[in-house]
Structure 1
Amino acid sequence: MTATAHRPTSITPLLIPLLVGGLVAIALGVFGRVHTPTGFAVGPAGFSAALPMKVWLTTGAFVLAAVQVITAMSMWGRLGVSIPPAVHRWSGRLAFLLTIPVAFHCLYALGLQYDVPRVLAHSLLGCFFYGLFTTKMLVLPKRGTPGWTLPVIGGLAFTALVCLWITSSFWFFTTIGFKV
């Protein structure tokens, strides 16, 4: 049977991954809100301060997320050129790893902030992104999911990361400049 011969229409296999992803997003938001921010979390090794570190790591994740979209399109036969699936897997792994110190610093040092609309949007998008990422990782090994599952969840994760980049790195570059 080919991959396109039978597309299940049931979303039942998605319920647990969606529930767990939603719980991750909510747990991060609750932790970020109730945790007393320390003001410091991660040493900015190689950077002048924590903010430039976060900006450049997020920019790296943003670039790798674009690689994710291109390689996913190749894997789904949308480009007419074949890119090895390993490029997709490794660009995703590296993008995720780049977000870890950023998220840790944001949650531990700053918490979920709501006094500035841009920062509130950024905080909520961060929680949403990690919820989507969790959902995507739980859906990957599942068989019997609708054909639109990975493109939609992956597209939402990409969109969330782009919006995170806009509300952080783009803001930094246009307001403060290109500091390292």
Structure 2
Amino acid sequence: MTAVQTPRSVTPLLAPLLVGGLIMVVLGVYGRAHTPTGFAVGPAGFSGALPMKAWLTSGAFLLAVIQVVSALSLWGKLGVKIPAWVHRWSGRLAFILTVPVAFHCLYALGFQYDVPRVLAHSLLGCFFYGVFAAKMLTLPKRGTPGWTLPVLGGFAFTALVGLWLTSSFWFFTTIGFKV
């Protein structure tokens, strides 16, 4: 006899997705409406704001790769058991590394759209924080479809890869490996 599975509703996703969408819009509007200061915020230990942002984003990118591998392990897709704390802490640290970068980008530079790379970077930054918020808000929800966390996590990872490509990769290939 097979067990009957009740279909999971997408209704519990509405609030997290609305909040995530609101965060995306608020960040974009603030970044565009706010007059950028041009002042580098806290490049402590770095020669400037750009190297700080490039290295912190690279650290977040590396931790995001650990997130994907550990998530695959948690979902039983690797055949190797990685402890759940690795997933939780790599995510926490990755997020923490993005905060000073995002703060600097919004405060000192604002939402920019005059150069295609920078426009893509601005859009991806807003998208990343919105998707991240939606993912965190769906974690405690019961009854959400099984695809919810992998899809939102995949979007967050993809956004972070795009952010790394449009910032750190650009910096390292254009300016060099400065600290």
Instruction: Bin the TM-score by the shorter chain.
Output: over 0.9
Q: Which residue of 1 aligns with 2:99?
A: 100
CA deviation digits over 1:130-174, x for unaligned, max 9?
000000000000000000000000001000000000000000111
Amino acid at match of 2:53: K
Match of 1:39 in 2: 38
| 1:36-92 deviations in Å (ceiling 9; x for gaps) | 000114221110001000000000000000000000000000000100000000000
> Does the CA-based 8 Å contact 1:65-1:158 persist in structure 2?
yes
- Cα distance in 1 for residues equivalent to 2:105 and 2:93: 19
Give the structure 2 partner of residue 12 of structure 1.
11
**Match in the other structure for 2:154:** 155
Structure 1 runs, 4 residues or longer, greater than 6 Å off:
none
Provide structure 1 residue ranges, at least 5 long, that are not aligned to the other structure. Answer: none
In structure 2, runs of 5+ residues without a counterpart are none
User: What SS is found at the alignment partner of 2:123?
Assistant: helix
Matched, 1:141 2:137: no
**Aligned pair 1:27/2:26, yes or no?**
yes
Percent of aligned positions that are identical: 79
Amino acid at match of 2:98: T
Paired letter, 2:112: Q
C-alpha deviation, 1:9, in angstroms: 3.6
TM-aligned CA deviation for residue 5 of structure 1: 6.9
Aligned mates of 1:148, 1:174 — CA distance in 2? 36
Aligned position for 2:78: 79
What secondary structure, in the 3-state scheme, does the structure 2 residue paired with 1:22 have?
helix
What TM-score, normalized by structure 1, do the two folds share? 0.96
2:54·2:171 contact (CA, 8 Å) conserved in 1? yes
Q: Could you tell me how far apart the structure 2 residues matched to 1:7 and 1:77 are?
A: 22
Number of residue pairs matched by the alignment: 177
Contact 1:7 1:146 in 2 (8 A): no
RMSD, aligned α-carbons: 1.2
C-alpha distance 7-101 of structure 1, shift in aligned 2 (>3 A): farther
